[in-house]
Amino acid sequence: MIRRFFLFSAFILTANLTIIKSAASEPLCTFSQAAPGQLVTQGGTLPKKLITLASAGGSPTKIDATCSQSANISVSAPIQVAGPEFTPVSAVATVTIPSGSSTKNGDAPLSLPAGTTPLTIDFAIDRGRSLRAGNYSYTVKFTVVP
Amino acid sequence: MIRHLLISSAFVLASTVTFVATANAQDASANGPVADMCVFSEPTIGQLAVNDTSNPTVLSSSLAGGTAAQVDITCNGNATLTVSPPIQTEGKTTTFKSLTAKATSKDLVGLNVDSNSTKPGNININTTEDTASGTIEVNMTADNDGKTISPGQYTFTVTLSSTP
């Protein structure tokens, strides 16, 4: 009984390792190194919003997704990782692909074709009142499913 | 043993599913600064009164009948407020013995600063929790050292500035 149990444990360990290895070596999509976007302020003399819109002087985050087959990508809301903490009244991340299709956090996933697709990610975070001075940083997470 | 097998299988499946879901997650970030700054509202002009209507030697907004000038300030970070001494901008040219100003605020705790012609007043505005906002009251006094001030309309300006 004990020996069978050990044997079985060994099997589970092996199975796990195998799965991890195959998942790590063949992910559905890989991403290039992201060049971080530039957040700029908007809204009044004492600004209330942080945005990456190029028309406001910011620059969106650019990242390439290379997928082995068509995939569906969804994006999280912007997550604050630096700067004076606050709870925004709205925080939106929008992912746009060259075809013009886009998705934002909470929306249906965006369909990516097999191959490399450049993604443009725009951030818009609204505090609803004046932002404290500081250096702010936000991140988003992508989730990819077949 | 069968039960062990079932439990172990369920564990393997659960861990595998979790792993696949996170294996394809990737972060993208954006960064940017918000500069320190303060904004002032349009000021409310104060009113000067005299110490003695028959023989005025002191003009002051602190005397009976006078009112302090007011201005609202909002800062999004720590700042230094500088208060200039009063500068005469209207009235008979007079070399007052002393020109002094005092800025105070009921809203901004600790804001109480004096300025005179030899030393402008400086005080820190600390924004510890959030943006700092409040009304600053500015009183000013022109003292002619016991000599009668010539009749006329007198105006003085005190300049408040913030850095950064």
Asked if residues B90 and B150 have their Cβ atoms less than 8 Å apart, the reply is no
For residues B99 and B119, give the distance between their C-alpha atoms in angstroms, rounded to a whole number: 11
Whether A141 shows a pLDDT value over 70: the answer reads yes
Cα–Cα distances (Å) from B97 to A67, B143, B149, in that order, read: 81, 6, 11
- Check CB contact under 8 Å for A34 and B29: yes
For residues B26 and A137, give the distance between their C-alpha atoms in angstroms, rounded to a whole number: 16
Whether B14 shows a pLDDT value over 80: the answer reads no
Residue A101 vs residue B4, higher pLDDT: A101
Tell whether A80 is covered by a domain.
Answer: yes
Nearest chain B residue to A123, by CA: B30
User: Which of B153, B9, B110, B29 shows the shortest CA–CA distance to A135?
Assistant: B29
Task: Check if B13 contacts A (Cβ < 8 Å).
Answer: no
Chain A residues in contact with B32 by the CB 8 A cut-off are: 38-41, 50, 58, 135-136
Percent of chain B at pLDDT exceeding 90: 60
Tell whether A88 is covered by a domain.
Answer: yes
What is residue B108's predicted lDDT score, i.e. its pLDDT?
A: 87
Tell whether A135 is covered by a domain.
Answer: yes
What is residue A3's predicted lDDT score, i.e. its pLDDT?
A: 52
The encoded tokens of residue B81 equal 């407020």
Strands (E), chain B: 27-34, 38-40, 49-50, 58-60, 69-75, 79-83, 87-90, 98-104, 112-116, 121-125, 132-143, 155-157, 160-163
Instruction: Report the residue from A5, A132, A144 with minimal CB separation from B76.
Output: A132
What is residue A34's predicted lDDT score, i.e. its pLDDT?
A: 65
Whether B13 shows a pLDDT value over 70: the answer reads no
The pair phi, psi for residue B111, each rounded to 5°, is -80, 105
Asked if residues A36 and A87 have their Cβ atoms less than 8 Å apart, the reply is no
Average pLDDT value for chain B: 84
Tell whether A131 is covered by a domain.
Answer: yes
What is residue B26's predicted lDDT score, i.e. its pLDDT?
A: 64
Average pLDDT value for chain A: 84
pLDDT tens digits along B107-131: 888 899 999 988 889 898 887 767 8
Quote the radius of gyration of chain A (alpha carbons, Å).
Answer: 20
Task: Check if B2 contacts A (Cβ < 8 Å).
Answer: no
Cα–Cα distances (Å) from A145 to A63, B25, B28, in that order, read: 18, 10, 18
Which CATH code for domain B38-163? 2.60.40
pLDDT tens digits along A46-74: 899 999 998 889 999 999 999 999 999 99
Tell whether A14 is covered by a domain.
Answer: no
Q: Give the 3-state secondary structure percentages of chain A, helix then strand then coil, rounded to 5.
A: 20, 45, 35
What is residue B126's predicted lDDT score, i.e. its pLDDT?
A: 81
Q: Which domain holds residue A118?
A: 28-145
The enclosing domain of A90 has a CATH number of: 2.60.40
Cα–Cα distances (Å) from B87 to A130, B134, B162, in that order, read: 33, 24, 18
pLDDT tens digits along A4-43: 544 444 444 444 444 444 444 468 898 886 678 999 998 7
Tell whether A7 is covered by a domain.
Answer: no
Q: Where are the domains of chain B?
A: 38-163
Domain count, chain A: 1
The overall pTM is greater than 0.80 = no
User: Which of A131, A18, A145 shows the shortest CA–CA distance to A84?
Assistant: A131
Tell whether A17 is covered by a domain.
Answer: no
Tell whether A97 is covered by a domain.
Answer: yes
For residues A144 and B8, give the distance between their C-alpha atoms in angstroms, rounded to a whole number: 27
What is residue A40's predicted lDDT score, i.e. its pLDDT?
A: 96
What is residue B18's predicted lDDT score, i.e. its pLDDT?
A: 38
The encoded tokens of residue A93 equal 């991340």
What is residue B127's predicted lDDT score, i.e. its pLDDT?
A: 76
What is residue B5's predicted lDDT score, i.e. its pLDDT?
A: 44
- Check CB contact under 8 Å for A39 and B11: no
User: Which of A119, A138, A140, A131 shows the shortest CA–CA distance to A39?
Assistant: A138
pLDDT tens digits along B22-67: 344 467 899 999 998 899 999 999 999 999 999 999 999 999 999 9
Mean pLDDT of B73-95: 90
